[in-house]
Amino acid sequence: MPRSASQRFDANGEDFNRDSRLQDSDEGDDPNDVEEDDNSSDDEELDVDDDPRFISAAMPEAGATAEHLRTLLYDSQVKYGELLALYRKVKADKSDLKLRVEALKAQSGPTKGKKKNVISSSLIKKHIEPIDTCGRKYGLLVHPFPTNNMFINIGPKRPDVNPNGPERYMSPEMEKLGFIAELFDAVTPGKTLHPLFEHAEFGSAFCYAANSVRSNSLTPLKSNLVSFIFPHLARHLSKTVMRNGQEATLLVSPSERGKDVELLRLLGHHPERKKEEDRYDQLPPLLYKDGNTDRVENLFLGHGLTDIACVALFGAGVLRTLSPTSNSSGVKWKITHATPGLIALSCILARYLISEDTALQPQGKQTRILYQRDFEAYKRMIIKSAHTPHMQRVVASFQRDVFVRLGRAKPNTVAPVDATETEPNAIELAMAQMENEVVITADAAPISTSSGQSLSYLSNPYIYDDGPALPPPTTPDRSSTSSPEPSRAQSVDLFDHDVPTPVSQGSSGLSHARPGSNRSIPSRAPAPISSGSRAPSGSRPIIARVTSGSQAARLEPPHAASPILQTDIGGIAQAAPKGKKVRGKKAVSRDDDMEPEPEVRRSSRRK
């Protein structure tokens, strides 16, 4: 029985509307359809000319009249237009759903694979280019692990804190203000972008750009890993295989790096430790010059650290040609000096490159190394000890090998540092600060308690407010009237046990006797220094930090009438002058409470 055109059935007797559903389901199976459709016309998207179902539906019966043929043609064209409109609608709905899914993924945090940044605000889109540039500079020079919530309650004005000064770490509050000051300094131009800090999508755009620095830096670093950065580890990091009858050198897999004994040694691996995050040292041999951890002055001078910074800034070919790539970050942003963040980033990149971790994240998935924690610890050490000769050598090394070598440094940016100068206590101080323990050192910068109170020069009776210097001490008469002792800074007890605090007595000097002693002060003892005088020259002991099991050497000062013993920086007592007796019982010396005093020679007794 012949079928009329109005029945709209295909050759198999099925509903013709099914075709649109089939087309929609077929289109969604191929993930590349969207990209291919964007490059083709609408007519090519829905090709029904060769579809047998459409041919069967439009095929007339034998002997059909011209009127019947025109009716069939008209119906086919109408149906084709309906299907084409439906297809376009489905395609638009699909694109909208994909955008919604990407937005949800961006809000839910990091996911496996590369994540796209979805910005819907027209205001942020207008300034997306400078935001992206500032974010990348921040991730490379300041901090590689930013988060979106760091812009919450940041305030409209920059705090009056130097983010690269040691005062930044005086207290948790100061550290937070220093962090905010870094953000204000990194985001330029400030008049345009600073008001956008509170915008909901500013942090997302900024952090997306900053986090991309890590992945973008790894590819050029791996291409230079064996040839230039760690050539002495070539047999541990690469292997030779045969490809098409020729030898080829390939990097070993992350799992193979995790089994290499030498690489594990350089990473400071200790499998016997219970906590996973503690099985790798924070300061492994890799960060020391020649891997020698016995000489703490070699810290941050490990082989390849400056080369890592050089490649991250100036491109993959810079170590081979000693010429920066024209479109590299260091050239575009006109970077001319090393920052504490760049030095710390080089350290964690070096650790990651020889580890078994497959992604540089705040915590390594395989090794459980806390990269973000260690980065912040390195940066804190560099900033707090920036005044020391050792850290100046570290900065000068990066400045010379990264910028001066390539002709990118500005004049007078590299301070001359004596390479033979030694400072045995500078790095112990920085390491102790990271471990949060206490020691006595000298000639170092002030450190602070958690409450922000400076521990430098506390308990030192000679340190007072600046004032006019007094004339040289004189010898008062025995019959002179007693004068009050100048006020002293409150002592800070650094030990677990009770130690008696020295007290002052007498009219003409400071007594070092134990509390309760009534012995008088000899007339030729040095006169007291008033609160308006300056401290005498000499070494000033400073409180720093060491392991809780060790204590600095403590001496017992002699009786007040006896010669005063001097102590050097290490706390070693010098012998009394030959032929002079030391009278009285020994008392515990408070090196943290008293500055070394000049030796006093006893004169002959009056007859």
Average of per-residue pLDDT across 406-416 = 65
DSSP for 4-50 reads PGGG-B-TTS-BTTHHHHHHHHHHTT-TTHHHHHHTS-HHHHS--TT
| Listed residue (395, 381, 393, 494) closest to 431, CA to CA | 381
- How many angstroms separate the CA atoms of 29 and 19, rounded? 16
Provide the pLDDT for residue 150: 86
Of these ranges, 5-14, 27-36, 141-150, 429-438, the one predicted with the greatest mean pLDDT is 141-150
Q: How far apart are CA 542 and CA 493, in angstroms?
A: 14
Whole-number average pLDDT of the chain: 69
Measure the CA–CA gap between 316 and 141, rounded to whole angstroms. Answer: 18
* Amino acid in the structure at residue 22: L
| The pLDDT of residue 573 is above 80 | no
Contacts of 347 (CB under 8 A, 6+ apart): 287, 300, 302, 305, 374, 375, 378
In this prediction, residue 115 carries a pLDDT of 57
Instruction: Measure the CA–CA gap between 529 and 549, rounded to whole angstroms.
Output: 36
Burial 532-542 (b: 16+ CB within 10 A, else e): ebeeeeeebbb
State the first-to-last Cα distance of the chain, in angstroms, to the nearest integer.
152
Q: Does 322 score more than 50 pLDDT? A: yes
pLDDT over threshold 90, residue 154: no
Tokens of 544: 């720093």
Here the tokens at position 406 are 């390539």
What pLDDT, on a 0 to 100 scale, did the predictor assign at position 484?
46
Q: Output the pLDDT for position 432.
A: 58
Q: Looking at 91-95, 293-297, 480-484, which range is the least confident one? A: 480-484
- Could you give the dihedral angle defined by the CA atoms of residues 520, 522, 526 and 528, in that order, rounded to the nearest 10 degrees? 30
- Which range is most confident: 179-193, 266-280, 547-561? 266-280
Q: Which two tokens stand for residue 383?
A: 């900033």
Tell me the C-alpha distance between 398 and 415, whole Å.
12
Q: What is the pLDDT at residue 95? A: 84
Dihedral Cα 22, 28, 29, 30, nearest 10 deg? 130
- pLDDT band at 52, cuts 50/70/90? low
User: Token pair of 202, please?
Assistant: 């500013």
The 10 Å Cβ neighbour count of residue 308 is 26
DSSP state letter for 584 = S
118 pLDDT more than 90: no
Q: 152 falls in which pLDDT band (50, 70, 90)?
A: confident
What percentage of the chain has pLDDT greater than the value 70? 56
541-545 and 438-442: which strand pairing? antiparallel
Q: Which residue has the tokens 């050239």?
A: 331
Domain-wise residue ranges, the chain: 5-107, 130-211, 224-233+276-352+359-435, 446-466+540-607
What pLDDT does residue 481 have? 44
What are the strands, taking DSSP E only, across 435-555? 438-442, 541-545
Pairing between β-strand 246-251 and β-strand 541-545 as defined by DSSP bridges: unpaired
pLDDT at 519: 43
Dump pLDDT digits (tens) for 157-191: 899 999 999 999 999 999 999 999 999 999 988 78
pLDDT at position 378: 95
pTM: 0.54
Pull the structure tokens for residue 187. 């985001």
Say which range, 138-152, 235-249, 380-394, has the weakest mean pLDDT. Answer: 235-249
- Using an 8 Å Cβ cutoff, are 576 and 582 in contact? yes
Enter the tokens of residue 229.
């950065």
Top-confidence range, 146-155, 201-210, 585-594: 201-210
In terms of pLDDT, which residue wins out, 91 or 563?
A: 91
Who wins on pLDDT, 450 or 351? 351
Q: Which of 85-99, 205-219, 583-597 has the least mean pLDDT?
A: 583-597
Section 366-385 average pLDDT: 94
Q: Quick count: other Cβ atoms within 10 Å of Cβ 144?
A: 24
Most confident of 192-196, 418-422, 443-447, 500-504: 192-196
> Per-residue pLDDT for 344 more than 80?
yes
- 431 band by pLDDT with thresholds 50, 70 and 90: low
